Chains A and B, each alone.
Chain A
Amino acid sequence: DARPLTLWGSSSMSSEGGAAATPVAVRIHEHLALAAAPAVVHGYGVGATRSGHTLLMRGLDTPGLRRLGDPAPGTGAVPVALDSGLAPVGTLRIPGDLAGVPGMLDAGGDGWTFVPDDTARSLTDGIFRSALAGVAEGSRQVLWMGKNNILDASGVLGDTQRMWDAAADPAQDTLVLGQWPTPYDPVGSATAEAVDAVNAEQQRRYGDHFLDLAGLLTSEDGLCCPPLAPLRLLEQATTQEALAQRIVPGGLRAPDDIHLNGWGNLAVSWSIVRRMRELRWL
């Protein structure tokens, strides 16, 4: 039973920042692929996306698309608008079909476009369905979503719950990763409180299927986990300062301070693998 594993989320799920600080880049999906082999691991973490974009990718939201203009010469890209109002972000590209015409929904450039696989085919307004829904069918999933819209705590909780409920066996097939506080989330700030609230509610809802990464990365025990032990982080004054501020230490943060570096990603990988083994996914 080598069930596939699908990773959903934003830039953290894609291990942005993972090339920093470690001698070799650490990408979470690569370590999970090794752990899960021979099961296939699909990585769908896309930078800048919000929890609503994950629902679109997963095929749980099927918005109507309205054409805004003619196909671009050469590429055949047709500018479109989503009736859900979801804004295009980052480099998001979702394979799927528009009213039955296969193609790619692309958030790059100045707005949404849809590029049919066969540029000779004409498009009509209609429903967009992500082809990734088929990939997700029967797959276990790891969710690391919502940090980019964390102030909409109820939205993040609701979107995560929809992903959870869509699994083949909702109580068994999902692992939800918690959010971690950056220097931009100081204690008392709106984002810090939102992170705490979302983490607490998800811990309550999902129990063993929730991974408290904030706890891992801001506790003495967590900072001494096997992959981090050689760094001796607790002996560093900057680490103690970070712990006092209840933020993740700089030794685990990428230069942009909002992503984890290679060491942070290694700790997250360790935590995920250990929990997966306890859940008997591996």
Chain B
Amino acid sequence: MRRPAAPQLRPGRPGSPIRVMPPATASAPAPEPAPAAPRRAPLARTGRRAVLLVGAAAAVSGAAGAGRLTGPFEDVAADHPGAEAIRWAEETGVQSALTATGYSPDAVVTRGDVAEALHRLAGAPPVGLGGLPLLFTDLGEDPARVSAVLWLHGRGALWGDADMRVRPDEPATRDCTAMMLTALLRPALAGVGVTWDAAAEVSLLQAAGPGSALADLAWLEAAGMASWEPTDRAGDAAVTRADLAVSLQRADTVVTSALG
């Protein structure tokens, strides 16, 4: 597994070092913390994640689903590459098991599933559904899914198609999942001065043209959140429950590290 490049902390931002640190190589040690970094009261892991993603409406209570079954699951071998992430996803409630004994790691997730997982990653902040105007044409009736989709849209991370449908029941592709996750995390992390430079991918991105998801895929790889290898950027590949668990656990680790 590639170690993520160390984030660049912009001078003048909270927590930034006096010098902008260069991206680390795979074998380089982590940079020393900035001597002038502001003091922060330690937050629970969930609280830090929620503060980053939810802002004023931070949910600092414990993660949903605490105390649920944590495996092992009959369909997840101990040496499964996503075993640890699956256990994390179950324990935190970000993506719970489908049955008491099975996790269905190879099941394909839908766009709505991804939205709900991201919403739970942020601590499932409430969304007032009453009085909202019609923003999309296919939200459906499930309150949890509607809340997740609208919350993600409110964060600028989920948009409809040319008919303003969000298509929550369609399979999630690697492209759309990357775009949602990047759109959710990248501005928030940039707001605390944490960025990653995907400059090494510039030629690839330029060849791909504007609007390509490659930029988001590259950013996730640079940030250490991708659940795929850099050589396997098949954007239309389906995303499995195991893939999603891995990406979100890595995202959680990155966010926690970024907030110190």
Interface residues of A (CB under 8 A from B): 1-3, 22-25, 27, 30-31, 34-39, 220-221, 223-227, 229-231, 234, 266, 270, 273-275, 277-282
Residues 4-62 of B at the A interface (beta carbon under 8 Å): 55-57
A2-B56, A23-B163, A39-B56 known; A277-B137 Cβ under 8 A: no
Could you list 20 examples of A-B contacts with CB < 8 Å?
A1-B56, A30-B132, A34-B135, A34-B153, A37-B57, A37-B154, A220-B210, A223-B210, A224-B209, A225-B211, A226-B179, A227-B160, A230-B161, A234-B211, A266-B159, A273-B154, A273-B156, A274-B187, A277-B191, A280-B191
Q: Which residues of B contact A280 (CB under 8 A)?
A: 55, 191-192
With A34-B132, A34-B153, A37-B128 already in contact, the answer to whether A270 and B159 are too (CB < 8 A) is yes
Of all chain B residues, the one with the shortest Cβ separation from A262 is: B164
Interface pair B55/A282, CB less than 8 Å apart: yes
Given contacts A31-B135, A37-B128, 20 further A-B contacts (CB under 8 A): A1-B56, A2-B56, A22-B164, A23-B137, A23-B164, A30-B135, A34-B135, A38-B128, A221-B210, A221-B211, A224-B211, A227-B159, A230-B159, A270-B156, A270-B159, A274-B156, A275-B187, A277-B55, A280-B55, A280-B192
- Chain B proximity of A32: nearest CB distance (Å): 9
Residue among B57, B128, B156 having the largest count of chain A Cβ atoms under 10 Å: B156
Q: Say whether A35 contacts B159, CB under 8 Å.
A: no
Contact of A35 among B132, B133, B156 (CB under 8 A): B156
A266 to B164, CA, bound (A): 11
> Whole-angstrom distance from the CB of A43 to the nearest CB of chain B?
13
Q: Once the chains are docked, how many angstroms separate the CA of A23 from the CA of B138?
A: 11
**Known contacts being A280-B192, A282-B56, is A231 close to B162, with CB within 8 Å?**
yes
The residue in A23, A30, A36, A270 that gathers the most chain B C-beta atoms within 10 A of its C-beta is A23
**What is the total of A-B residue contacts with beta carbons within 8 Å?**
90
Report whether A30 and B128 are in contact in the complex, using a CB–CB cutoff of 8 Å: no
Residues on B with beta carbons closer than 8 Å to the beta carbon of A266 = 159
- Nearest chain A residue, comparing its CB with the CB of B161: A230
Q: Which residues of chain A are near B137, meaning CB under 8 Å?
A: 23-24
**B190 with A278: CB separation less than 8 A:** yes
Q: Which residues of A lie under 8 Å from residue B132 when comparing CB positions?
A: 30, 34
Nearest-neighbour CB distance to chain A for B50, whole angstroms, equals 13
Distance from B226 Cβ to chain A, minimum over Cβ atoms (Å): 19
Q: Which residues of B contact A39 (CB under 8 A)?
A: 56
Set of chain A residues within 8 Å of B117, measured between Cβ atoms: none
